[in-house]
Amino acid sequence: MFWVRDIETLLPEKLKELQVSLLDKTVKQAIKSPFYHKKLGEQGLTGISSLEDVNSLPFTEKEDLRSAFPYGFLCTELKEAVRLHSSSGTTGNPTVIFHTRKDIDEWANLIARCMYMTGATESDVFQNMMGYGLFTGGLGFHYGAEKLGMLTIPIGPGNSKRQIWFMKEFNVSVVHILPSYALRLQSLLREMGLDRKRDLPHLRIAYVGAEPHSEAMRKKIEKSLDVKAYNSYGLSEMCGPGVAFECEEQNGLHLWEDSFYMEIIDPETGKVLPEGEEGELVLTTLNREAMPLIRYRTRDLTRIMPGACPCGRTHRRIERIKGRSDDMLIINGVNVFPIQVERVLMGIPGIGTNYVIEVKKDKFMDKLYLKVEVDNKAFKGTLRDMEILEERVTEELKAELSVTPKVKLVESASLPVTEGKAVRVYDLRNT
């Protein structure tokens, strides 16, 4: 289902033409901000006339957003801005993103487009279990769902009993949920004596995002909840969710190229890589008024999937995010992404869904420690089976990571669970 058929199926050449004109507009708008006025002005840049010209534009880094706090990127008068979102900085200034009324409307439209693409309609009832507030996940989907016309329940995260009560009483059919929470939902239902089929017969779609997760985890969510789970990608610097989204093919995420210009670069050299190669995603906003960003380095690692999607959309797809370049752990010189660990664990029967990764220094060497919950339903009851399971986890991780982890099986439900984002990685090397 196409929310805006003309745009979603625009021929690649036409899409490129559109991008050139929007990029030029964006550069001209960006120059109105103190930051870009200086940065682009130094290079004498006033616009672009071809996609090749993009190469001459400078990158923008998260650090730039911090250093220009609070208004250094604002391109309009403050009175034209109607909303700000902010990401919490653990150190230094937070990053702050401003939106005009039109920016919010464009964003809502993008999310409506995403949800409509997966088959959600105005007849659906939507429960938004994501955090509202400065975080963009909650409000982004909220506005998109209303734009689409769904009955929207703005429940936010937490309080599982109340979540399930609303789902049951209002025949909720679509949810927006953290992947780690989606995996627990089935057992929460059981604990409340409820049956998914009997008590939540309408539930059919789950949007999962905000935490990087593997394909194996998606399959687990789909199986345990008997829903279609769609992967969502976004970042608050671009707007929030709605940047890229899976269609019903569930094979890569269409990145909306009428709203964002994408490049994949080598994170070390900054060189643009050919289509299909893996690297860091770099995005330029194409429609933003209050705060356009040029060649923003997302730190997210992915690749552009070559070829057309059977769904008919011409906007190119990116692969599920492989990891963030700043999530990457370097273990004695070997690059390890937490998502690789998850992919391996999800593929091993007998292993539960919760795990914790720790990196410590041991006699000047990095050592990867892994606590992995066993699946109580798959527990057979013998010591030998558990020893074999531990060996298998160690061996499969070693094959995937080229690093030998120290694996420890722990009891099911023994690792801490949060109702917010799951924290699974602890780098204890500098403590």
Q: Which residues bind other proteins (CB under 8 A)?
A: 374, 376, 379-383, 386-387, 390, 408-414
**Quick count: other Cβ atoms within 10 Å of Cβ 81?**
21
Shortest distance, CB of residue 178 to other proteins, whole angstroms? Answer: 21
Q: What are phi and psi of 7, to 5 degrees?
A: -75, -45
**Long-range contacts made by residues 304-308, C-beta under 8 angstroms, separation at least 24?**
304/262, 304/264, 304/275, 304/276, 305/251, 305/252, 305/276, 306/275, 306/276
Q: Give the nearer residue to other proteins in terms of CB position, either 131 or 350.
A: 350
Dihedral, 329, 242, 55, 19 alpha carbons, nearest 10 = 160
Least separation in angstroms between CB 239 and Zn ion: 21
**d(C-alpha 370, C-alpha 226), whole Å:** 30
In the complex with Zn ion, which residue's Cβ is closer, 246 or 300? 246
Cα-Cα end-to-end distance for the chain = 52
Q: What is the residue type of 170?
A: F
Considering the rule CB under 5 A, would residue 192 count as an interface residue with Zn ion? no
Are the beta carbons of 156 and 131 closer than 8 angstroms?
A: yes
| Nearer Cβ to other proteins (18/410) | 410
Q: Which does 226 bind (CB under 5 to 8 A by kind): other proteins, Zn ion, none?
A: none
User: Is 323 within 8 Å of 336 (Cβ atoms)?
Assistant: no
The site partner of 247 among Zn ion, other proteins, none (C-beta below 5 to 8 Å per kind) is Zn ion
Question: Which amino acid is present at 53?
Answer: D
The C-alpha atoms of residue 62 and residue 27 are separated, in whole angstroms, by 19
Tokens of 91: 């150190």
Residue 262 as a binder of Zn ion (CB under 5 A): the answer is no
Indicate which of Zn ion, other proteins, none lies near residue 110 (CB less than 5 to 8 Å, by partner kind).
none
| 83 close to 104: Cβ distance less than 8 angstroms | yes
> Applying CB under 5 A, what is the total number of residues that bind Zn ion?
5
CB of 260 to other proteins, least distance (A): 45
Question: Counting contacts by CB under 5 A, is residue 1 touching Zn ion?
Answer: no
- Cβ distance to Zn ion smaller for residue 247 or 301: 247
**Amino acid, res. 252:** G
Nearest alpha-carbon partner for 237 in 120, 393, 107 = 107
Out of Zn ion, other proteins, none, what residue 301 binds, judged by CB under 5 to 8 A for its kind, is none
Minimal distance, residue 143 CB to Zn ion, in Å:
23
Binding mask 228-247 for Zn ion (x = CB under 5 A): -------------------x
Shortest approach of other proteins to residue 413 CB, angstroms? 4
Q: Which stretch binds Zn ion (CB under 5 A): 24-32, 166-174, 249-257, 329-337?
A: 249-257
Residue of 272, 311, 328, 378 interacting with Zn ion (CB under 5 A): 311
Cβ contact 210:218 at 8 Å: no
Q: Choose the one of Zn ion, other proteins, none that binds residue 386, judging by a C-beta under 5 to 8 angstroms depending on kind.
A: other proteins
Choosing from 151, 273, 309, 417, the residue that interacts with Zn ion (CB under 5 A) is: 309
Contact yes or no for 58/64 (Cβ under 8 A) = no
Report what 311 binds from other proteins, Zn ion, none; CB cut-off 5-8 Å by kind. Answer: Zn ion
Residue 273 site contact among Zn ion, other proteins, none (CB < 5 to 8 Å, cut-off depends on kind): none
CB of 421 to other proteins, least distance (A): 23
Decide: 132 and 106 in contact? Cβ < 8 Å.
Answer: no
Binding site for Zn ion (CB under 5 A): 247, 249, 309, 311, 313
